[in-house]
Amino acid sequence: MSTSGDDHVSVLRGVPVVGGVRYAPVIRPGRLPGPDDENAPPADPSAEAERFRAAVTAVADRLRGRAARTSGPAAEVLSATATLAEDRAWLGAAEKRIAAGSSAEQAVRAAVAQFTDLFTKMGGLMAERVTDLQDIRDRVVADLRGMPEPGVPLPDVPSILCADDLAPADTAGLDPSLVVGLATSKGGPTSHTAIIARQLGIPCVVAVGGLDAVAAGEMVLIDGTAGTVAVAPDPSAAAEAVTSARRADERTAHWSGPGATADGHPVGILANVADGAAARAARQTPAEGVGLFRTELCFLDRETEPTVDEQARTYGEVLEAFAGHKVVIRTLDAGSDKPLGFAGQPEEANPALGVRGIRIARDNPGLLDRQLTAIAAAADATGNRPWVMAPMIATADEAREFASAVRDHRLTPGVMVEVPAAALLADRILEHVEFLSIGTNDLAQYTMAADRMSAELATLTDPWQPAVLALVAAAARAGGAAGKPVGVCGEAAADPLLACVLVGLGVTSLSAASAAIGSVGARLARARLAQCREAADAVLACAGAEEARSAARAVLG
């Protein structure tokens, strides 16, 4: 993801997985065995094969030993890794190479590469097993060289573990009283790191840009709700952030929904999900429904369009997880930072301003129609009829055409407000659709003319920018006048203080990553509607993002 500067402190950004704020020194996993310089073929291939098998057995035995010393999912992960270490397919591939004259180490590397290539091509959950196999490779190679096993050091003081990606065997053995935060530069929300971090309740951020440059011993402040890692922050400010987050955590733990202000003004608190697994995880939180299902994320690795049946099954999983609850499905938002192999997008000099989102339907209306057919089939199969919204709507005509296509499938149409034009003409768009959902990530990018992926411009794409919030206010006002709901589903909704401001601006629901649901709901439950409105007025009168934050804090505490 990205980096932003706050005077001297560099704040690295990633994907939030487990909430919580911790301030501690960094530890890094032990060194991996370096590249193999020995190219000489072994004198005796059968002795080399023996050496290989002994190393594999030693690695598998050690993993099983650690599994026996832990319990629950951690033990399962360790046993599964031990089983994978002895999997016949990759062992056979390595042995074949040794028989043909390779050294054991070269054979291990080549056989693992063969299977990781295959898993990567298969994508999805299989691709996430690549880390497991690479971990086994490193352990076996270390054993072959007589080196200590690579892995997480046991720290003397509570520490934050930073790594490329963590091997399941490393995360499974973690002691949460010593490893108090986890940050990885790779990995996704369903990686082993994320699964184990959730189980252990360790604040965790994955896919953190710039993490590789953070050395062991450096003090960092990790915020698992905001998805940030601040490097070398001011110690007293960091300690204060930890204390106030602890207090908030205590309140969050007691918040069970439904969403409302302290004086009972209802606000839907919904979850952003990427697939069925994420929806099932979100169902474990007090989220009242799904406010944004990013369907394109299900198919990023696909070169050919998924069939209507396959799409219907995928969407049905989310509808089933939230049976009887509101679900908002967004049609494919392909393009720009999320290219889809099958969307037939042209090469463009400026893809963020190009054919993305709903614009793909101009040349390829069948793609949208088949997706709507699949959503309707999923609705019929599950008995849960979702709301359906289009990304990147810029004009009322686009909204009208989209709404008519959605209604043809007996579904409820809405649109996202991500383009300033849509916020400015929200009243005219609302003549055609039943709801709006504001995507503050893109709305900030297009309002401020600043690439949302740019680390240098992160202060411009800050959703606290008063210009962005003025457009949110315009859309919310139009919704209020039309008597139609206007939600926010961009990252702004995951910031508890900003969430109160959004409600004050007239927003009727907030949709955020599961990790943020509790803190947003609990924060809103402490603010009265009049306070939210006062904070909203104060923020709109500000000249910049930092000033807006302070103004909101002054009103909301």
Known catalytic residues are 192, 489
d(CA 472, CA 458): 19
Q: Of 27 and 472, which CB lies nearer to ligand PEP in the complex structure?
A: 472
* Binding flag, residue 296, Mg ion (CB under 5 A): no
d(CA 187, CA 207): 6
* Binding flag, residue 442, ligand PEP (CB under 6 A): yes
* Binding flag, residue 19, Mg ion (CB under 5 A): no
The answer to whether the beta carbons of residues 298 and 537 sit under 8 Å apart is no
Q: Of 48 and 442, which CB lies nearer to Mg ion in the complex structure?
A: 442
Closest CA to 525 of 492, 556, 551: 556
d(CA 411, CA 299): 22
Length of the chain, please? Answer: 557
Q: Of 319 and 389, which CB lies nearer to ligand PEP in the complex structure?
A: 389
Of Mg ion, ligand PEP, none, which one sits near residue 440, judging by CB under 5 to 8 A according to partner kind? ligand PEP
* Binding flag, residue 114, ligand PEP (CB under 6 A): no
* Binding flag, residue 440, ligand PEP (CB under 6 A): yes
Q: Is 250 exposed, middle or buried (0-12, 13-18, 19+ CB in 10 A)?
A: exposed
Of Mg ion, ligand PEP, none, which one sits near residue 306, judging by CB under 5 to 8 A according to partner kind? none
The number of residues that bind ligand PEP (CB under 6 A) is: 10
Residue whose entry in the numeric block shows the structure tokens 């601040």: 230
* Binding flag, residue 439, Mg ion (CB under 5 A): yes
Residue 439 beta carbon to Mg ion: minimum distance, rounded to whole angstroms: 4
Instruction: Give the burial string for 298-309 (b: 16+ CB within 10 Å, else e).
Output: bbeeeeebbebe
Taking the CA of residue 228 as centre, how many other CA atoms within 13 Å lie in the half-sphere pointing to its CB?
A: 22
Q: How far is CA 153 from the centre of its chain?
A: 27
Reported as type and span, the H/E element at residue 93 is helix 88-99
Q: Of 106 and 509, which CB lies nearer to Mg ion in the complex structure?
A: 509
* Binding flag, residue 439, ligand PEP (CB under 6 A): yes
Q: Of 102 and 509, which CB lies nearer to ligand PEP in the complex structure?
A: 509
Question: Applying CB under 5 A, which of residues 95, 320, 418, 462 lies at the interface with Mg ion?
Answer: 418
d(CA 387, CA 297): 18
3-state SS class at 113: helix
Q: Annotate each residue in 488-527 with x if it binds ligand PEP (CB under 6 A) or - if it does not, as one string.
A: -xx-------------------------------------
Segment lying near ligand PEP (by CB under 6 A), choices 147-155, 298-306, 435-443, 518-526: 435-443
Of Mg ion, ligand PEP, none, which one sits near residue 294, judging by CB under 5 to 8 A according to partner kind? ligand PEP
Give residue 130's identity as a one-letter amino acid code.
V
* Binding flag, residue 487, ligand PEP (CB under 6 A): no
d(CA 4, CA 23): 19
* Binding flag, residue 288, Mg ion (CB under 5 A): no
d(CA 55, CA 476): 63
d(CA 528, CA 526): 7
Q: Annotate each residue in 138-177 with x if it binds Mg ion (CB under 5 A) or - if it does not, as one string.
A: ----------------------------------------
Q: Of 160 and 367, which CB lies nearer to ligand PEP in the complex structure?
A: 367
Give the orientation angle of helix 514-524 with respect to helix 276-283, to 10 degrees: 30
Q: Of 371 and 437, which CB lies nearer to Mg ion in the complex structure?
A: 437
String of DSSP letters for 471-497: HHHHHHHHHHHHT--EEE-SGGGGSHH
* Binding flag, residue 333, ligand PEP (CB under 6 A): yes
* Binding flag, residue 199, ligand PEP (CB under 6 A): no
- 272-331: contacts with ligand PEP (CB under 6 A): 292, 294
Question: Applying CB under 5 A, which of residues 138, 143, 296, 442 lies at the interface with Mg ion?
Answer: 442
3-state SS class at 509: strand
**Residues lying near Mg ion in the complex (CB under 5 A):** 418, 439, 442
**Residues lying near ligand PEP in the complex (CB under 6 A):** 292, 294, 333, 418, 439-442, 489-490
